[in-house]
Amino acid sequence: MTIDDCLALPETQQAILLYESPSYTPDWHRFRLVFSLPRYITDPKLFVQIVKKYVEIYKADDCNSEVNAFYGNSNATIYNLTNGDVIKYSNGVRR
C-alpha cells in the first residue's frame, strides 16, 4: 500500500500522524500510523487486540508487534494528519 492509498482510506481520517519507517523507499512504501486512543493502554493483550484491528484494515500483517509503537525515524517525512503539515527530516534535522 502506498502512502497515498493509505491516506485515501476512511479509517485513516482517525489517525493523527503518519511517518515513514526507516526501511521506506520510493518503490516500497513502509510507514507507521499513529492513532489517538480514548484512554491510556497498559494491558499488552488489549494493545495487541487493537493493533490487530488496524493490521486487518491496512493489510499490514508483518507489523503486528507492540514494540513497533516505540520506534521512530530520524530521516522521515512526517504527515501531521490533524493540520495537513508535511515535515521532512534528515539525520534528525528538519529540512
- pLDDT, tens digit (0-9, with 9 covering 90-100), for 28-40: 988 888 999 899 9
- pLDDT, tens digit (0-9, with 9 covering 90-100), for 3-12: 999 999 999 9
pTM: 0.78
**Residue 22 neighbours by CB under 8 Å, 6+ apart:** 71, 73, 75, 76
| CA–CA dist 93, 91 (Å, integer) | 6
- pLDDT, tens digit (0-9, with 9 covering 90-100), for 44-95: 899 888 888 888 888 876 665 656 666 677 888 989 999 999 999 887 788 7
Helices (H), the chain: 3-8, 44-58
Asked if residues 24 and 30 have their Cβ atoms less than 8 Å apart, the reply is yes
In sequence order, the β-bridge partners of residue 20 are 31
Provide the grid cell at 90. 534528515
